[in-house]
Amino acid sequence: MSSELTSATAIARDVAAGSRTAVSVAEEFLARIAESDGEIHAFNTVMTDEALAQATAVDEAAAAGQDVGPLAGVPIALKDNMCTRGVRTTCSSKMLENWVPPYDAAVVEKLRAAGAVAVGKTNLDEFAMGSSTENSAFGPTRNPLDPSRVPGGSSGGSAAAVAAGFSAVSLGSDTGGSIRQPAALCGLVGVKPTYGAVSRYGLVAFASSLDQIGPFSRDVADAAAVFDVIAGHDGRDSTSIPEELPSMSDAVATSMADGIDGLRVGLVTELSGRGLDAFEPEVVTAGAAAADALAAAGAKVDEVSIPTAVAGLSAYYMIAPAEASSNLARYDGVRYGLRETGPNTASMMAASRTAGFGDEVKRRIMLGTYALSAGYYDAFYGKAQRIRTLMIQEFDQVYADFDVLISPTSPCVAFEFGAKADPLTMYYNDVCTIPSNLTGHPAMSVPFGLGAHGMPIGVQIMAPAMGEADMFRAAVALQAAAPQAGPETGASS
């Protein structure tokens, strides 16, 4: 499949110029979904009628000489934890299997206004809790590059949709690495924005102080184009940042034209994977090679130590389950969602939650409830929050001397189904990505070569809050130097 045919920026340019119609583009992508998603299972719901109606509206606006938006006719897939009016939003859980929201998420509103065409809702680990998309109540998603392996998670369906050519770009949510890790495992660009840069209005909450929405794409320019559309203040989200971010597309263009001379880059020692058995050797080598590539491109590169980074995994798995325990208490069988019968209210609620939640969700609810309980709050949740504060302080100190930091994104490439059945082994997939969620800083994954079994490796670029412009500049340089830029073909080629 030609990368030009699936490039979001190329599609938008062609539709605006009239050389392609939004309807013809939508039909091409929908045909790929119909042909190949039976094997991949990227989607929970394919929005065929809605997509064609939206594409028709774009074509009509173009024919009338109206501004059709920066993403005109671009097919986009939406993680199935983002509300879509009139289209079911399941969170890949039996609890919400038939729930149809009465409103759109803020990002969905912005995408529609920009001319993008939503082709479907993608599969995920239930309520975004997982790193492999094996925890979906509706079955796993397969990696289009090797269907015997996972696509990562929890946004595995969104990553697989782009890697397979089912959509030009997609949106995922990232609570502890759920955009960046599947991007790495599928050979894509994946971006977690600064906390508050993108509205969470209409995103079904997992851990409210950590969740952020961001894009998947095949290249950095497409990710920047989507970022520019979805970012910005929203009064409906109390955590939304009022300040405007500069254009990431402009940052990409500047980097392409002027390079990254003088950019200060730090390779984080604690996240480099050296000497750690859990990191595959090719992943460690790729991280070091990425640092060398940035130095060769003109950046000033040095190693840097952030001691609290190693405590991120432990702190996260106290804070995130605690917030999940609170957020998921609303699913009680009374107001909406699955409802089982029982002789009394307490029995009905217990039966509904038992039937509606999968094992991993139950595990995290119980862990979070325990961490918040009397007698254990200070010992567990309170201590985790103190580690989080110390981590923010250490990262801020480091960013006084560095513009961006880098590390591997995932300690391993895509693994086979069932290979990490032990929860603690699975949780370790997030060791490199979790710190940026705890600090609220932006981070992204860029493909950088191949590792074991010929599967892609991702390198993570981190930046201080609102530092996305330098992050995207570095990403352009890494993309240009990468041994292989990512999947050129997917399941449908």
> In the chain, what percentage of residues exceed pLDDT 90?
94
In a domain, 304, yes or no: no
* Contact of 47 with 61, CB cutoff 8 Å: no
Instruction: Establish if 90 belongs to a structural domain.
Output: yes
- The verdict on residue 164 lying in a domain is yes
* pLDDT for the residue numbered 485: 43
Answer whether residue 96 is part of any domain.
yes
On the CB side of 458, CA atoms within 13 Å amount to 37
Task: Please provide the average confidence, as pLDDT, over all residues in the chain.
Answer: 95
- Specify the amino acid at residue 273: G
Rg (CA), the chain: 21
The residue type found at 348 is M
Residue 137 forms part of a structural domain: yes
Residue pair 124/153 in contact (Cβ under 8 Å)? The answer is yes
Q: Is the pLDDT of residue 220 over 60?
A: yes
Q: Is the pLDDT of residue 488 over 50?
A: no
**What digits encode the pLDDT tens for the residues 86-99?**
999 999 999 999 99
**DSSP string of 117-165, one letter each residue:** EEEEEE--SGGG--SSS---TT-PPPBTTBTTB---SSSHHHHHHHHTT
> Stretch 209-217: mean pLDDT, rounded?
98
Q: Identify the three-state secondary structure at position 36.
A: helix
Q: pLDDT by residue (tens digit) across 421-445?
A: 999 999 999 999 999 999 999 999 9
User: Considering its fold, how many domains does the chain have in total?
Assistant: 1
85, 103 Cβ separation under 8 angstroms: yes
- Structure tokens of 345? 């209210």
- Of the pLDDT bands very low, low, confident and very high (cuts 50, 70, 90), residue 336 is confident
H helices present in 67-121, as ranges: 106-113
Whether residue 479 is contained in a domain is answered as no
Paired strand residues for 404 = 265
Evaluate whether residue 426 is within a structural domain.
no
CA distances from 140 to 42, 69, 73, 155, 260 (A): 9, 35, 29, 11, 40
Q: Across the chain, which distance is largest between two alpha carbons, in Å?
A: 70
The pLDDT tens digits of the residues spanning 132-175 come to 999 999 999 999 999 999 999 999 999 999 999 999 999 999 99
Task: Specify the residue for token string 């995408």.
Answer: 111
Q: Is the pLDDT of residue 300 over 90?
A: yes
Within a domain: 278: no
Closest CA to 161 of 68, 47, 257: 47
CATH of the domain at 61: 3.90.1300.10
- What is the per-residue pLDDT across 22-69, written as a single tens digit (0 to 9) for each? 999 999 999 999 999 999 999 999 999 999 999 999 999 999 999 999
Q: Rounded to whole angstroms, how far apart are CA atoms 197 and 465? A: 9
Would you please indicate which residues are annotated as catalytic (active-site) residues? 79, 154, 178
- Which residue range is the domain that position 131 belongs to? 3-254
Which sign does the torsion angle of CA 444, 425, 452, 126 carry?
A: negative
Q: Is the pLDDT of residue 2 over 80?
A: no
Question: What residues contact 263, with CB distance under 8 A and at least 6 apart?
Answer: 294, 298, 299, 300, 403, 404, 470, 473, 474
Higher pLDDT residue, 12 or 421? 12
